[in-house]
Amino acid sequence: MELSPETLKTLPEAPGVYLFKDPRGVVLYVGKAKNLRHRLASYLAPSTLKTASLLRQAQELETIITRNEKEALILEANLIKKHRPRYNVILRDDKAYPLLRISLKEKYPRLMIVRRKRKGDQALYFGPYPSAGALRQTVKILTKFFPLRRCSNAEMARRTRPCLYYEIGKCLAPCVGWVSPERYRKVVEQAVAFLEGRTQDLVRQLKREMEEAAQNLEFERAARLRDRLRAVQKILESQAVVLPQEEDLDVFALARKDDKASGAVLFVRRGKLLGHKVFHLRGREEEDLWATLLKQFYDEGKLIPQKIVLPELPAEKALLEDWLSEMKGQRVKLLTPKGELQGLWEMAQRNAEEALRSRLRGEKTWEELAQALAESLRLPVIPQKVEAVDLSSLQGTAPVGAMVAFFEGEPDKNRYRRYHIREVQGTPDDYAMLREVLKRRLERGLKEKDLPDLLVIDGGRGHLEVGRRLLEEYGLEGRLGLCAIAKEREDEGEKVYIPGRKNPLRLSRHSEVLRFLTRVRDEVHRFVLTFHRQRRETETLRSFLDGLPGIGPKRKKTLLSHFSTPQEILAAGEEKLARLPGFNRPVAQRLIQELQSIYREPLESQSSKGLGGA
């Protein structure tokens, strides 16, 4: 459906989402509307250069009707995350930050690091932490002074003796019942008080327990409580209190220059500054930039604060508040920085401006690099999505392929794919294996209307020809960019091949284009080698287990689900093996004896090398 006065008459006056697509079916822009007909009517007379450029490229319009405007908002956010359209403003750091979870409903609550909050979960969540490093530091403090278990429920149920964490004083060994639920619950309450910032209550409780332990002549326990108390007091001194009241809020700021924008968000929890994170936006003008940012920054599973501070309120403030409140399960407010919040916003603004300066000082922006790629490789479109493919096998055994994806110059690991080679077995045939992997990727892409703009093959002229013929076969030649990169001789460096040219391109070794292609090729090479190593180890273990007495199909399947190599089975020991489903002590003993007879010499040899070698 193309946009015209005639097609407008056929559109409903209802809430929904609209998608503009190019001739290949690639989504260029996703928008939402309270009234689809009225909203799309504004595109007949474009008011900005961006809109005019969008309409020149768009050849298809798709609309999806929703029951209300809130549903349209949620669907719009999901579609932008899925398609990452070229003409939408895209948040380039929309990942979920790590959280700390304590499962209070369990008999012995567990400490977990997670990325998402489970809907309807009765556990407590703390964070978000700006980095994994910041969270690791918190966990290090917690486990030293509040020794909660970290093992899974299944692992805890199988244990017959404490793990290493108990030996080093970082767990109370609830797995073997060496601590009562009541005493363990007290430690949980103290850890929760620490994480919630109720440190004064915690200090009083620790002092009281320490004095009671001393009076009861429990001097070792009193010493542990004393150390815990000192640690809490030390942390109290270093924490930055930024608000007089214990509130949770996120403070956003943005800095812009021309079509580039960078931002910062401060995470304030219980009135204390937890940390900050910078992010970058890709795109140009947007009618309601803050609404766009919030829809991409927050989604299902993220920890949403009670208040969100913005330099200006979005036009659809009420709708966004309802959506955020529904996800959080309690009221969320959008505010502007007034009074005591003004200083926090100014801090966020300074961080945003510094992030933008660093971005402008750095290497070429993706827009500039993408333009250079299109010119150097003679691409049909300026690339946004780049994918690379590579193969690995050992003399034809365990052949695999892998695909990595980059979006605007950065790895998009959710789109990485692994391929077991099915059609080619025995004699290694790189070209046949490459054809199989590319065929499966292109067929899936055509079906889902999700193809890359540039496909990079790790290989030479012959590998490029396989890809070119396949694109021709599927009618994609001239619509999808293709190149191959290979290092054929050490003294010659990298060679880049493109369709329609016999000789490789002459690219300077300092070229940004060559540097990017090499980075993509190295990433797919690393990914496929890791996958091949895992598959080879699994195949080795599978064939090894076939000849062992007492190991039938069911026990073999159990071992394969728990271990990757025979050495891992040997390292697990009799006790762990005996607790596996379908196993018992005699079977475990026989298996260990068989392994020891086979691996004794290599293990001893490795041990002597480790002690006396270089």
- Mapping DSSP onto H, E and C, the string for 310-348 reads CCCCCCCHHHHHHHHHHHHCCCCEEECCCCHHHHHHHHH
| Cα separation, 504 vs 484, whole angstroms | 9
pTM recorded for the entire structure:
0.62
- Cβ 401 vs Cβ 436: under 8 Å: yes
Burial of 260 (0-12, 13-18, 19+ CB in 10 A): middle
| Cα separation, 491 vs 513, whole angstroms | 20
- Cβ 428 vs Cβ 396: under 8 Å: yes
- The whole-number pLDDT of residue 612 equals 29
How long a stretch of residues is the chain? 614
Tokens linked to 203 = 């200090």
Neighbours of 215 (CB within 10 A): 9
Q: What is the DSSP letter of 87?
A: T
pLDDT digits (tens, 9 = 90+) for 294-341: 998 887 678 899 999 999 999 899 999 999 999 888 899 999 999 889
Return the higher-pLDDT residue of 93 and 363.
93
> Sign of the CA dihedral 431, 437, 438, 443?
positive
- The whole-number pLDDT of residue 223 equals 86
Average pLDDT over residues 66-95: 85
Q: Tell me, what amino acid is at 277?
A: K
Considering only 115-129, 369-383, 542-556, which range has the smallest mean pLDDT?
542-556
Q: What is the DSSP letter of 505?
A: B
- The whole-number pLDDT of residue 557 equals 78
The stretches of 58-131 forming alpha helices (DSSP H) are 69-83
DSSP string, 150-197: -S-HHHHHH-SS--HHHHTTS---GGGT-S-HHHHHHHHHHHHHHHHT
- The whole-number pLDDT of residue 48 equals 76
Coil, strand or helix at 401: strand
338: left (phi over 0), alpha (psi -120 to 50) or beta: beta
Return the higher-pLDDT residue of 35 and 426.
35
Return the higher-pLDDT residue of 295 and 229.
295
End-to-end CA distance of the chain: 71
Return the higher-pLDDT residue of 268 and 136.
268
- Cβ 526 vs Cβ 387: under 8 Å: no
- The whole-number pLDDT of residue 396 equals 57
Tokens linked to 210 = 């320490």
| Cα separation, 405 vs 402, whole angstroms | 10
Find how far residue 397's CA is from the centre of its chain.
32
- The whole-number pLDDT of residue 454 equals 96
Q: Give the pLDDT band of residue 284 (cuts 50, 70, 90).
A: low
- Cβ 279 vs Cβ 335: under 8 Å: no
Q: Output phi, psi for 563, to 5 deg.
A: -130, 155
Pairing of strands 333-335, 307-309: parallel
pLDDT > 70 in the chain, percent: 87
Per-residue burial over 537-574, b if 16 or more Cβ lie within 10 Å, else e, is: beeebeebbeebeebeeebbebbeeebbebbebbebeb
Average pLDDT over residues 584-590: 84
Beta bridge partners of 502: none
Q: Output phi, psi for 70, to 5 deg.
A: -65, -40
600-607 contact pairs (CB < 8 A, 24+): 603/567, 603/570
- The whole-number pLDDT of residue 614 equals 25
DSSP string, 576-611: HHHTSTT--HHHHHHHHHHHHHHHHHHHHHHHHHHH
Coil, strand or helix at 115: coil
Q: Which residues, including other chains, have CB under 8 Å from residue 129's CB and lie 6 or more apart?
A: 97, 98, 99, 100, 135, 138, 274, 275
| Cα separation, 319 vs 504, whole angstroms | 55
Is the predicted pLDDT of residue 613 greater than 50, yes or no?
no
pLDDT digits (tens, 9 = 90+) for 489-534: 655 678 999 998 888 998 888 888 999 999 999 999 999 988 887 7
Pairing of strands 249-257, 124-126: unpaired
Neighbours of 58 (CB within 10 A): 20
- Cβ 389 vs Cβ 470: under 8 Å: no
Q: What is the DSSP letter of 146?
A: S
pLDDT digits (tens, 9 = 90+) for 432-491: 999 999 999 999 999 888 899 999 999 999 999 999 999 999 999 888 999 999 876 655
Give me the chain's average pLDDT, please.
Answer: 83
31 membership: H or E segment, kind and range: strand 27-33
- The whole-number pLDDT of residue 609 equals 30
Considering only 66-70, 454-458, 542-546, which range has the smallest mean pLDDT?
542-546
Peptide bond into 23 cis (omega under 30): no
- The whole-number pLDDT of residue 427 equals 66
Q: Give the pLDDT band of residue 1 (cuts 50, 70, 90).
A: low
- The whole-number pLDDT of residue 608 equals 31
Average pLDDT over residues 128-135: 74
Q: Show the domains of the chain with their CATH numbers.
A: 5-88 (3.40.1440.10), 249-361 (3.30.420.10), 369-528 (3.30.420.340), 547-612 (1.10.150)
pLDDT > 90 in the chain, percent: 29
Average pLDDT over residues 550-563: 78
